[in-house]
Structures are given as C-alpha cells and as structure tokens.
Amino acid sequence: GEDVEQSLFLSVREGDSSVINCTYTDSSSTYLYWYKQEPGAGLQLLTYIFSNMDMKQDQRLTVLLNKKDKHLSLRIADTQTGDSAIYFCAESANDMRFGAGTRLTVKP
C-alpha cells in the first residue's frame, strides 16, 4: 500500500478555508512537507514541519501534525482561485515519499 495517503479531490468556494489531509506510515520521518504544483509546472515548496512540532503557521497556511496518529493537515485560510492546484504531502524518512496529490478546486 501507499506510504503516504491523501484524498484525491477537494472543492471549496473562494473565501472559505481549505483543509487537505494526509496520513503517513513511517514514524521515523524527521520532516514532513507540503508542495504545491500548478498545471504544467514543477513542485513549489509551500511549507514544512519538523516532526517534534504540533503546529506551524505561515500567513494563510497552517500545518497541523498529530504524530501519534501519523496525520498531517494543511489548512489554507481565505482560499483564493490562485490556490487551485495539486497539493502533495511528502515525508522524508529515507527518500522523499510523496502522496498521490490532492487536487484543490476553488470556485468563485
């Protein structure tokens, strides 16, 4: 099975909050990452969290980590149409392992 799992699709209205969830299996992961990929583009590092942290906030982005449940989430406040993209969760216990990506669609 997948080492990193994400739901494939999320649709929200402009101005609402988006929450993208991720679960991982390797408890030795030191860092967990969120990358954003817009159509036809490479991966843009959005944010990352060290495994001994519970939360990290960076402007509109909030990352929550539940290490006991191996659950990571990304909350985007006041979601805009420019946030429409695929969001990849990744963990780096050894190699970088990516989830399948969540396609976020923001409706005006």
Element housing 3 (H / E): none
Burial of 53 (0-12, 13-18, 19+ CB in 10 A): middle
43-50/55-58 β-pairing = unpaired
**Where in 45-74 is the site for another protein (CB under 8 A)?**
45, 48, 50
Please identify, among the stretches 16-24, 52-60, 71-79, 90-98, the one whose residues bind another protein according to the rule CB under 8 A: 90-98
Closer to another protein by Cβ: residue 39 or 108:
39
The residues that touch another protein, with contacts defined as CB under 8 A, are: 28-31, 33, 35, 40-45, 48, 50, 88, 92-96, 98-101
